[in-house]
Structure 1
Amino acid sequence: MNTKTTATESKKPGFVAKVRKGSGENAVYERIGVAWKNADGSFYIKLAGTQVVSDFMLYEIESTDQSGE
């Protein structure tokens, strides 16, 4: 059993991943996951539930009391 905790497991995510569906005023954004910034500047991204066909955006989570889910 591995009891070592990684940085991504011990803190809340700093970003939310979303895809845009539609265009113009009819566009909606669907949340597809969350992300953490690693010490080396890279990102650990955890996607859930939706197939990503082309691309997605990361938005920084502004409030510290959001759970990221």
Structure 2
Amino acid sequence: MNTKTTATESKKPGFVAKVRKGSGENAVYERIGVAWKNADGSFYIKLAGTQLVSDFMLYEIESTDQSGE
């Protein structure tokens, strides 16, 4: 099973990990890390800091490439 990226693949993360604090209109989302999707469909998740997290959400990062405009 090969999970290495090729030279043409981006090494930038494709997802951001966030936790929700609060509820309703007062809810805020704190970024706690990033994630990459491996070739086999699994995810490599890199959490930042030393927080204790029991659950989190992954959001796909929108492309900021504007070369097509």
Give the TM bin, normalised by the shorter chain. 0.7 to 0.9
Q: Deviations over 1:44-63 (max 9, x none)?
A: 00000252432100000012
Considering only aligned residues, what root-mean-square deviation do their CA atoms show, in Å?
6.0
Q: Cα–Cα, structure 1 residues 9 and 19, in superposed 2: closer, same or farther, change >3 Å?
A: farther
Aligned to 1:68: 68
TM-score using structure 1 length: 0.74
Which deviates the most, 58-67 or 14-23?
Answer: 58-67
- TM-superposed deviation, 1:8: 12
Q: Which range moved further: 2-11 or 40-49?
A: 2-11
Change beyond 3 A, Cα 1:26–1:2 = closer
Q: CA deviation at 1:31?
A: 0.2
Secondary structure of the corresponding residue to residue 17 of structure 2:
strand
* Larger relative helix fraction: 1
| Structure 2 unpaired stretches of 5+ | none
Q: Percent identity?
A: 99
Greater shift, 8-17 or 44-53, is seen at 8-17
1:10 alignment partner, SS class:
coil
C-alpha distance in 2 between matches for 1:68 and 1:56: 33
Structure exhibiting the larger radius of gyration computed from Cα positions: 2
Structure 1: 5+ residue runs without aligned partners?
A: none
TM-score between both structures, scaled by the size of structure 2: 0.74
